[in-house]
Amino acid sequence: MGVAALRGVLAALLCALLGCSAIEGARLYREGTEALERGDAESAVRALELAADRAPEASEVQNHLGLAYLASGRRDDAVRAFERAIALDCDNAAARHNLAAAHGEPTR
C-alpha cells in the first residue's frame, strides 16, 4: 500500500473514530491560531469562526476566537466569545484573563 493510500485509510479511520467535524475543527483552530500569531487578524477570525462551528463545545477555540475578534477591533464579539469559553469551561484561566482585559479591568 502506498503512502497516499495509507493516509487515506488513516483519515477515514480518524473520521470514523473522532468525527470529521472534530478533525476539521482542529485543523481550522491551528490555522486560525497561526494566523493570529503572525498578525493576520482577519484570516484568524475566518478560520476560528469555522472552527467554532465545527467544535462548538471547545472552550479554547472560543478563547482564541475572542483574541482574533479583539485584534480585529470587534470588542463586543470578543467579549461574547470569552464568555462562551468560560461557560464551556469555568476553569479556563486564559479566557477569564482575556475577558477581564476586554472589559478594561486590571489583570495579573
H/E run at residue 64: helix 59-71
Q: Would residue 13 count as lying in a domain?
A: no
End-to-end CA distance of the chain: 54
Q: Would residue 11 count as lying in a domain?
A: no
> Which pLDDT value is given to residue 23?
77
User: Residue 66 sits in which domain range?
Assistant: 19-102
Q: Would residue 45 count as lying in a domain?
A: yes
Report, as ranges of residue numbers, the positions in the chain whose pLDDT lies below 50.
none
Q: Would residue 5 count as lying in a domain?
A: no
> Which pLDDT value is given to residue 4?
67
Q: Would residue 2 count as lying in a domain?
A: no
H/E run at residue 49: helix 41-54
Q: Would residue 14 count as lying in a domain?
A: no
> Which pLDDT value is given to residue 24?
84
Q: How far apart are CA 75 and CA 24, in angstroms?
A: 27
CATH of the domain at 74: 1.25.40.10
**What is the domain count for the chain?**
1
> Which pLDDT value is given to residue 106?
77
> Which pLDDT value is given to residue 75?
97
